[in-house]
Amino acid sequence: MHKIWAQRKAEAAVQKLEQKRPAGSTPAERLLQKELSELVELKDTKIIPTESILKFNMLYRPSEGYYKGGEFEFKFVIGTNFPHEPPKVLCTNHIYHPNIDTAGNICLNILREDWKPVLNIQAVIFGIRMLFQEPNPEDPLNKDAAKQMVNNPQEFARIVKSSMSGYRIGDVEYDNVLVGLEHDKAW
């Protein structure tokens, strides 16, 4: 009987602590808060907060390469096991890219098998930026784009520009991700 009473008292104490715990105080939330406050300012990358610290969006405007002139949005969802599991990241735009499929899935090793708890959100952001600066046709999600990039780079570049303008390529309609001068001023 004494054991049951002690267990109930311990459970009540834990419940009371959880009620007093301020928002943003789970280990994942505290770590993410610290990481986001320490992010290096990049003129081509912008973090957009949402209602939860465990979810945010990122806008990226490549300043060089095939995707220069576009603005790409990524949705980050951080699990409560972060940093022991990688964040879930999707590209919200339909784009023609060897490493991003039309559902927005991203082929980036550190988001899968190469994730380690020592990695952070900044590493993911740099990885995404690198995919736009140097797409990797050796590890594609969009095999057609990868094949085109390897076999005919000029045609690949033309298709990328057309797709960024919102054209339909084959049976896929792509989002217009081109950024105009008036949009640059708001950045």
For the annotated catalytic residues, the residue numbers are 107
* 187, amino acid identity: W
Place of tokens 């896929």: 172
Question: Which amino acid, residue 160?
Answer: V
Other Cβ atoms less than 10 A from the Cβ of 163: the count is 25
Contacts of 115 (CB under 8 A, 6+ apart): 85, 86
CA-CA-CA-CA dihedral for 57, 51, 109, 70, to nearest 10:
-10
**3-class DSSP state of 99:** coil
